């Protein structure tokens, strides 16, 4: 491989991200469909360059320094020429729109006059889709239909745009179901750190009261910070929250080695750790995104999902070891201590890892 090829290769690779860029011009096209009955297409483009192209197509040229009024008159006079390179079709059949031209003067000495070309007409009854082509631009431009955008090269036909109403926004029930599931899967199986924390809480004592008190404190606390974070009232960077979560797991597990009864300070600490974990949940939920229309529903159901995930962890631990072994003499020595040590080691490793990166 020649040096130049290597250089080019590295250039191409370096610019891999930028290579998606397009030469985007100043033209933009917006399509509105009103109640499936009428359409309105608005082209905003540079008036002078469009007039130049229209004049050139007639073998003439545009003198410099033309007023906005004169440009508007030129565009209007070239109506038939302009139509030759505009294609608006419903279900593949071309329609002939009514076209109105307006040119606004430039806002200052160096700006250009902008032309607004409005194409209107009735939508053929029962039309399913429409296609668009604007052949008077060389640069790429955006065509928006409602909230959807297609990037088109000059002269490139759009892909057919469906006219059947966009899918309605998901209902409250489906949003609730979705976020309930997201909350649950954030614990089981994706949230190994939260699972270990809950296991740490569970392993402290064989009494149901201990589990109940700790879980309640944890739940109340993480619900508070999850809500406050999602409403933007508090914000702690994840580079602080994530290592702290790892430390909290290590603390709970290590304390299990020295403590076998529920103390009031343990509840207070679990509450404090819950505040941390809530901020962690919020970070995850922000990444997932919340629907603006069903913000509260999504927030509450996500929290409930998290809760259900935690209870599932405790229920599993109880069924696997607690039920049969919790009252045996060897329960603490063979289950609580080794498991807590394992959790503590993992959490210490995570703490170092999260601090380092």
Partner 1 sequence: MLLLRLALLATPLLAHDMWIEPMTFSPQTGEIVGVKLRVGQDLLGDPLPRDPALIRQFVVEDSEGRKPLVGRDGADPAGFFRVPAPGLLVVGYSSNPSAVELGAEKFNQYVKEEGLDAVAALRARRNETGAKARELFSRCAKSLVLSGTASDAEADRRLGFTLELVAERNPYSLRAGQDLPVRLTYENRPLSGALVVAMNRLNPSEKLTARTDNTGRVRFRLRPGGMWLIKAVHMIPAPAGVDTQWVSFWASLTFAPKGS
Q: Which residues bind partner 1 (CB under 8 A)?
A: 1, 4-9, 11-13, 15, 18-27, 46, 49, 52-53, 56-57, 59, 61, 110-112, 135, 137-139, 153-155
Q: CA distances (Å), 303 to each of 241, 277, 285, in order?
A: 18, 12, 10
CB of 62 to partner 1, least distance (A): 10
Q: 136, 147, 128: which is closest to 81 by C-alpha?
A: 136
Q: 86, 91, 301: which is closest to 176 by C-alpha?
A: 301
Pick 14 or 296: Cβ nearer partner 1:
14
Query: Residue 176 in contact with residue 301, Cβ under 8 Å?
Result: yes
Distance CA 334, CA 260 (A): 14
Distance CA 36, CA 60 (A): 41
CB of 340 to partner 1, least distance (A): 50
Pick 153 or 353: Cβ nearer partner 1:
153
Runs of H (alpha helix) within the chain: 3-14, 47-57, 68-77, 79-84, 172-187, 192-203, 208-230, 238-258, 264-288, 295-317, 323-325, 331, 337-356
CB of 192 to partner 1, least distance (A): 36
Pick 7 or 296: Cβ nearer partner 1:
7
Beta pairing, strands 38-46 & 24-34: antiparallel
Pick 116 or 216: Cβ nearer partner 1:
116
CB of 288 to partner 1, least distance (A): 28
Distance CA 107, CA 225 (A): 50
Pick 65 or 232: Cβ nearer partner 1:
65
Please return the burial class of 104, using the count of CB atoms within 10 Å of its CB with bins 0-12, 13-18 and 19+. Answer: middle
Pick 138 or 190: Cβ nearer partner 1:
138
Pick 43 or 321: Cβ nearer partner 1:
43
| Max Cα distance, the chain (Å) | 102
Tokens found for residue 198: 């809950």
Please return the burial class of 258, using the count of CB atoms within 10 Å of its CB with bins 0-12, 13-18 and 19+. Answer: exposed
CB of 15 to partner 1, least distance (A): 5
CB of 92 to partner 1, least distance (A): 20
Distance CA 330, CA 324 (A): 12
CB of 132 to partner 1, least distance (A): 17
Pick 57 or 129: Cβ nearer partner 1:
57
CB of 106 to partner 1, least distance (A): 11
CB of 45 to partner 1, least distance (A): 8
Distance CA 223, CA 306 (A): 10
Pick 155 or 169: Cβ nearer partner 1:
155
Q: CA distances (Å), 231 to each of 175, 237, 279, in order?
A: 18, 15, 12
């Amino acid at each position: 491989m020649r040096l130049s090829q290597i250089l080019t290769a590295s250039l191409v690779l370096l610019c891999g991200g930028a290579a998606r860029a397009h030469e985007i011009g100043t033209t933009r096209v917006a399509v509105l469909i009103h109640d499936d009955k009428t359409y309105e297409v608005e082209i905003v483009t540079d008036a002078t360059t469009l007039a130049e192209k229209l004049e050139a197509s007639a073998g003439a040229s545009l003198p410099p320094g033309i007023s906005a009024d004169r440009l508007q008159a030129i565009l209007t006079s070239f109506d038939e020429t302009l139509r030759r390179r505009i294609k608006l079709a419903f279900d593949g059949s071309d329609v002939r729109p009514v076209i109105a031209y307006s040119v606004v003067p430039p806002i200052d000495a160096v700006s250009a006059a902008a032309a607004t070309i409005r194409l209107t007409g009735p939508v053929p009854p029962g039309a399913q889709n429409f296609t668009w082509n604007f052949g008077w631009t060389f640069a790429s431009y955006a065509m928006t239909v409602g909230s959807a955008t297609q990037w088109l090269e000059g002269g490139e036909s759009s892909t057919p745009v469906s006219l059947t109403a966009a899918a309605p926004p998901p209902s409250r029930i489906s949003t609730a179901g979705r976020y309930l599931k997201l909350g649950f899967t954030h614990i089981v199986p994706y949230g190994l750190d939260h699972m270990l924390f809950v296991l740490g809480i569970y392993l402290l004592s064989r009494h149901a009261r201990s589990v109940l008190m700790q879980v309640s404190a944890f739940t109340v606390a993480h619900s508070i910070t999850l809500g406050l974070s999602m409403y933007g009232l508090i914000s702690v960077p994840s580079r602080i929250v994530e290592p702290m979560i790892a430390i909290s797991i290590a603390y709970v597990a290590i304390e299990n080695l020295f403590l076998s009864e529920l103390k009031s300070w343990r509840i207070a600490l679990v509450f404090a750790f819950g505040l941390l974990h809530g901020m962690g949940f919020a970070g995850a939920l922000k990444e997932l995104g919340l629907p603006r229309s069903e913000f509260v529903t999504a927030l509450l159901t996500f929290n409930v999902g998290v809760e259900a995930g935690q209870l599932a962890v405790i229920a599993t631990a109880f069924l696997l070891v607690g039920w049969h072994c919790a009252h045996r003499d060897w329960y603490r020595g063979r289950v609580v201590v080794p498991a807590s040590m394992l959790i503590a080691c993992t959490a210490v490793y995570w703490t170092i890892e999260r601090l380092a990166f």
